[in-house]
Chains A and B, each alone.
Chain A
Amino acid sequence: MFQIPLRLLSTSIGRKVLMSITGLLLVGFLIVHLLGNLTLFMDDGGATFDAYSDALVSNPLLPLAELGLLLLFAAHIALGLRVSLQNREARGEPYVARATMGQATPGSRTMLISGLLVLIFLVIHLLDFRLHGGEEVHESIAAQVIERLRGGPGALIYCLGMAALGLHLSHALRSSLQSLGLADTRCYPCLARAGRFLAAVMALGFASFPLYFFFINKA
């Protein structure tokens, strides 16, 4: 019964499979998160967003979902660090001259860096709206979000965070499906395009909120 998880954790392919599964589940979370955020665009002073937030917070299963999410992030990050460290080890003496064969992309080259930037962003994001900097807050969550995104530093941090996310996700889809063995010759170009599309939708989708509140709805 423990054979499969142990094999997944102890082999190179297994660890990449786990990274793919956790990564895809995190993308699923991001999609739901983005859809929920869209309620911020409703011109009702954030009432719908607050109602959505209340529905989540009052759900008794929320702590369980949050724990699951935390475990997903922790597993994805821990495996990513493990794999990256091993990859650095594996070369030994570096090349004096290095040329790409033309298949590498900015996203594929920077998965570790973009991932760490997203992690930094995540910490800031959680401090902003989940832990409230350790303070007790009673005002509406929509008001807090809008206030944070209207400020120059807030808007900038959230846009930069989403740029890192977009870079990270640009290599995510084709890489994860390939690691899971779900890709084949015919679908590689299509997968690469779909991956870039997903990355663009996610990054621009989330960045639309700071951009909207900073440039358009300044009220």
Chain B
Amino acid sequence: MSHGNSNMRLTLHIWQQSGPAGRMETHVLDAVSPDVSFLEMLDMLNEQLIAAGKDVLAFDHDCREGICGMCSLVINGKPHGPETETTTCQLHMRSFNDGDTITIEPFRAKAMPVIKDLVIDRSALDRIVAAGGYVSVNAGNAQDANALPVPRHDAEKSMDAAACIGCAACVASCKNASAMLFVSAKVSQLALLPQGKPERTERVGKMVDAMDAAGFGNCTNEGECEAACPKGISIANIARLNREFLRSLVMPD
């Protein structure tokens, strides 16, 4: 896999779309260093397109350090590409070989339509969080750290769930385009902590309703999402979401 300083020649099959319909286009890119990131490689492609007087390719990115959740892309059939727990911006071309053909597509879900080329509208996820993924109490000043005892395991699990950056790789990898891993992380991070408990019953119902209303699919418990997640969010959160939902039915406020 390692290529030292040798540069790579790549054939890129990329989804391009400006109206309601799109198509796969092929580009050839030369002299790609194995040390550049995947997004820098796309920057190189865009410079080549500009030099040729063509439209640039639109793709999402922001922090380029794996924490913002803006970058996406299904690369050779895998969300965020071939490396585990790695966002597209943290993926480097050393993960590919000279002469490779790389297929690049947007994350696909009816609830997350393509805006242009590889850019999708992920506001459905925002609507789910807006439906209940918050704590609506005035927190006031920081209180004594030991005033609210939190068992260590709960704190750890909550922090693990809170690692979700909302990139939607779970939706993209799921054969049903289900957003259950995302919703389960957002429900879990609050349900496990004392600050989130007062609203846990109301929260889970509202967030599940928002998820269903957006048109995401159902969870068939394959676990593909967990493997695709750049933050390693566990499907144990989905089991917790299911428990929280059932709890809200049998123990309503």
State the A residues within 8 Å of B (CB): 3-4, 7-8, 11-17, 83, 86-87, 89-105, 108-109, 111, 171, 174-175, 178-185, 188
Contact = CB atoms under 8 A, between A and B. Distances in A.
A97 B238 contact: no
Nearest to A79: B218
B16 interface: no
Interface residues of B, number: 54
B195 interface: no
Contacts of A89: 110, 215, 217
A91 B108 contact: yes
Interface stretch (B60-68, B89-97, B133-141, B175-183): B175-183
Contacts of B221: 108, 171, 174-175, 178-179
Contacts of A97: 13, 74, 76-77, 103, 105
B115 interface: no
Given A7-B249, A93-B108, A181-B239, A111 B220 contact: yes
Given A13-B208, A83-B218, A179-B219, A96 B246 contact: no
B253 interface: no
Contacts of B38: none
B224 A103 contact: yes
5 contacts: A91-B108, A95-B105, A99-B76, A103-B223, A178-B221
B109 A99 contact: no
Contacts of B246: 17, 180-181
A91 B209 contact: no
Contacts of A108: 220-222
Nearest to B217: A90
B242 interface: yes
Interface of B: 13, 15, 22, 24, 74, 76-78, 103, 105, 108-111, 113-114, 173, 175-178, 205, 208-209, 211-212, 215-224, 226-228, 234-236, 238-246, 249-250, 252
Nearest to A7: B249
Contacts of B76: 97, 99
A4 B22 CA distance: 44
A13 B204 CA distance: 11
Given A108-B220, A174-B221, A184 B77 contact: no
Nearest to A87: B176
Given A16-B219, A102-B227, A91 B110 contact: yes
Nearest to B247: A181
Contacts of B208: 11-13
A137 to B, nearest CB: 41
A175 B74 CA distance: 26
A110 B35 CA distance: 41
Nearest to A99: B77
Contact of A98 (B77, B240, B252): B77
A95 B74 contact: yes
Given A4-B249, A178-B238, A86 B218 contact: yes
Nearest to B114: A93
Contacts of A94: 108
